[in-house]
């Protein structure tokens, strides 16, 4: 249902600018150990990628905690994407993101040909699914250790809505996701 809400929001905010935006649905388990507690949180939501002209210039994670009815949008300042060759005509895409302290998170998946609905380049070489894993250690008033596990799955419907004429730009795709969550009673955390 959230995917449908996201798609409807995208269709309502379409502008005439050219864009190539990728949307992945996420299912992540975040476990925080520290301060005398172990807290496990299931996060859903989306990874939105500005991939205009095949350059992944910016990303946003829309992290949704459905149990609490809260969400946040994270624009990581330190992240990287690479294509790794692991055999004849076999490619893996690897997305890495630095952690809050010492550590980080990696998502990787085997590439395949995907039609993203772009007016300029319909067929892209991307992973349909990426496996997420990572850990981070940091200190605030206490020391914490965080682990991440889960998957990112290519969201064809939302990607098509973002790219099919008239396409919308990255910021509007993120804003559509945020507005839909707010309109459905979710609370945005900083």
- pLDDT for 79: 87
pLDDT under 50 in the chain at which residues?
Answer: 1, 4-5, 7-18
What angle separates helix 156-163 from helix 2-12, to the nearest 10 degrees?
0
Domain map (residue ranges) of the chain: 2-188
- pLDDT for 11: 42
pTM: 0.83
Q: Tell me: cis bond preceding 2? Omega within 30 of 0 counts.
A: no
| Helices and strands (DSSP H and E) totals, the chain | 3, 11
């Amino acid at each position: 249902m959230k995917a449908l809400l996201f798609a409807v929001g995208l269709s309502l905010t379409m502008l005439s600018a050219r864009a190539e935006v990728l949307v992945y649905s996420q299912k992540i388990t975040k476990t925080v150990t520290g301060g005398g507690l172990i807290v496990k949180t299931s996060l859903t939501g989306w990874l939105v990628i500005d991939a205009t002209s095949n350059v992944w210039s910016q990303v946003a994670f829309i992290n949704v905690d459905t149990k609490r009815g809260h969400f946040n949008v994270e624009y990581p300042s330190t992240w990287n994407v690479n294509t790794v060759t692991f055999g004849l005509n076999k490619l893996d895409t690897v997305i890495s993101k630095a952690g809050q302290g010492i550590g980080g998170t990696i998502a990787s998946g085997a590439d395949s040909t995907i039609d993203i609905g772009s007016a300029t380049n319909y067929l892209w070489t991307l992973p349909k699914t990426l496996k997420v894993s990572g850990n981070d250690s940091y200190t605030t008033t206490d020391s914490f250790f965080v682990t991440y596990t889960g998957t990112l799955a290519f969201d064809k419907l939302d990607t098509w809505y973002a790219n099919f004429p008239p396409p919308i730009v990255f910021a509007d795709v993120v804003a559509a996701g945020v507005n839909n969550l707010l309109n459905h009673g979710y609370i945005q955390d900083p």
